[in-house]
A and B are shown apart, each in its own frame.
Chain A
């Protein structure tokens, strides 16, 4: 039993980290009022870049840096569409997911990176790798950035009331572009971690819907970084537990095991919806465009 618990717990971080990083990235852009449904696509870009750099001889850290850059490159497209051209956030995000899906598969098959096993990121301490240890610090960084800096104040102002922020002299478009780039760097890192440290192989389906779960996590966390990490750990516990229970041969239906995180998400949403304060933590201008001197 001790061995089972140990094997389970030691594997939780590797599953939790992609969810946590992606959710943190989403929170950064959504707190600036940019509704980001493109997480799956940014993760795919990062995942492919991580594999590509590694196969071409780059060390794991370079691969992760490449993943962040790839996420940001896609983020730049998203920022151009949403912040500059003011295209509907939902449509731009969904279109980018499909675009990234096709583009990454095309590049991977053109370059011959599919199904190539790599060595990947090695553990450094207590069986965990660098990114696992860095994730709480990244979360702390997000909290400090959002709550303790002028930049964070401006970012949140743009997400809550862009007209007021604009009147106060904050460049709404620039703030949103910066928020998207910061966020997509983290989401790209989440994807890169998935291939460089977890699967250690690329196939077109490697992200497998984890970007969508990260979006649910952000709602679950009510746009708060620490709660997003807690939610990610919950999902990580489940992902690490299911195959281990199955491997022992215990007769537990896996469909029931997969339910708790989603039930928790639903419960949190119901809880926050029934609270008297109403909308809760959702940024007031989430998904809304700001056009100067335009009357709503």
Chain B
């Protein structure tokens, strides 16, 4: 009942335009009391990929911060599902709500305005505010390092990549993967197959098998299930994973581009507790250095020499090396990054081109 009353009160407030006032008053944000985070997961907590990576970080945070962090899983990307989950946690005293989906963006924006004393953090989101921050990783860095492993392991110089949908944050992993491969093997070529679905093991298997038929002997991926790694294992070729360390599903997996949310969230939660929440008007776009992403490396097939090269590049990236540094042209020959420059974040998000050596639609 209390919740309903609150909702009715807030609806009345926003109808009068008073929410604007409330937000204005809370521009200087400070969390009230001890940090009490809660996590809302878009997928299943054991999906083997994206949602599981967040849930594993939640468990690590629980022990590291000595907190109990409740979780709700399989909350679809609709306001009618997100809102009750978030409000239940807030009602029980949570003051940091951590989301997990692009589709939560709008509802989190509304909730953040309604609950100005609660911090909202949304991985893969797009909305931001005085108490709302969307975060995503520069996954091209970790996929670049996995690409180096692929370049070093391939004998046919043909590498395959199974990806979900061709847009910015997927295209940058495809391009970075080949750039990494060419760092150790200038003759490497990359064939990419888009399945059109984030988690369709039937299509992922078909794509992986079709690539292996074409002579590919290492398979990278940016889809949500470990099917590609399993198929690689069945055909005695190598693979590299995404989201989590996928070597638990297949002996083929030699490296994985992984999320390490806890390494970012631990200091973030401590900062919020100390009253130092940093606003990010365009969201936080975080790198290996910030602790949000990393590689799980390396499998048994990787030589010490190759591993050292990968770790040296990892150090270089932490020290400031940009994967998309000029001069860089797309496969049609158009210059995309000039000598001495690096690709801007805006151009990364709208990336719709492929570097020379990538084939596929």
Contacts and interface: CB of A to CB of B under 8 A. Distances in A.
Asked if A and B bind, the verdict is: yes
Interface of A: 3, 7, 11, 15, 105, 109, 112, 114-115, 117, 194, 198-206, 208, 210, 239-240, 243-244, 246-249, 251-254, 258
B160 A247 contact: yes
B48 A243 contact: no
A257 to B, nearest CB: 9
A115 B249 CA distance: 8
B303 interface: no
B201 interface: yes
Given A114-B48, A206-B200, A206-B202, A201 B213 contact: no
A200 B205 CA distance: 9
Contacts of A115: 46-48, 225-226, 249
A203 B224 CA distance: 10
A109 B199 contact: no
A240 B207 CA distance: 9
Contacts of A202: 201
B213 A247 contact: yes
Contacts of A258: 196
Interface in B318-361: 359-361
A129 to B, nearest CB: 15
A199 B205 contact: yes
Given A243-B210, A247-B160, A254-B196, A105 B74 contact: yes
A37 B213 CA distance: 37
B361 A201 contact: no
A210 B233 CA distance: 27
B8 interface: no
Contacts of B196: 254, 258
Nearest to A110: B46
B201 A206 contact: yes
Contacts of A248: 191, 214, 359
Given A109-B46, A114-B48, A200 B210 contact: no
Interface string B201-218: 111011101110110100
Contacts of B213: 3, 7, 244, 247
B217 to A, nearest CB: 13
A37 B192 CA distance: 35
A156 B298 CA distance: 62
A249 B206 contact: no
Contacts of A210: 202
- Closest A-B pairs by Cβ, 8 of them: A249-B359, A115-B48, A199-B201, A247-B210, A243-B210, A117-B230, A246-B193, A243-B207
Given A199-B202, A199-B205, A246-B193, 17 more contacts: A105-B44, A114-B47, A115-B48, A115-B249, A117-B226, A202-B201, A203-B48, A204-B44, A210-B202, A239-B206, A243-B206, A244-B210, A246-B191, A246-B192, A247-B214, A249-B360, A253-B361
A194 B202 contact: yes
A203 B201 contact: yes
27 contacts: A11-B209, A105-B74, A114-B44, A115-B48, A117-B230, A117-B250, A199-B205, A201-B201, A201-B226, A204-B199, A205-B198, A205-B201, A206-B202, A239-B203, A243-B193, A243-B210, A244-B210, A246-B192, A246-B360, A247-B160, A247-B210, A247-B211, A247-B214, A248-B191, A248-B214, A248-B359, A258-B196
Contact of A252 (B45, B203, B361): B361
B194 interface: yes
A244 B160 CA distance: 12
B81 interface: no
Contact of A203 (B47, B192, B360): B47
A246 B200 contact: no
Contact of B225 (A11, A194, A201, A243): A201
Contacts of B48: 114-115, 203
B205 A208 contact: no
A208 B202 contact: yes
Contacts of A7: 210, 213
B210 A246 contact: yes
B227 interface: yes
Contacts of A208: 197, 200, 202-203
B200 A205 contact: yes
Nearest to B162: A243
Contacts of A194: 202
Interface in B242-292: 249-250
A61 B59 CA distance: 40
Given A199-B205, A203-B48, A251 B210 contact: no
Most buried by B among A112, A205, A243, A248: A243
A240 B200 CA distance: 14
Contacts of A254: 194, 196, 361
B201 A114 contact: no
A55 to B, nearest CB: 14
A203 B225 contact: yes
A239 B201 CA distance: 13
A240 B226 CA distance: 20
A244 B74 CA distance: 33
Nearest to A257: B361
Nearest to A207: B202
A108 to B, nearest CB: 8
Contact of A199 (B45, B207, B227): B227
Nearest to B44: A109
Contacts of A246: 191-194, 207, 210, 360-361
A170 to B, nearest CB: 40
Contacts of A199: 201-202, 205, 227
A7 B44 CA distance: 35
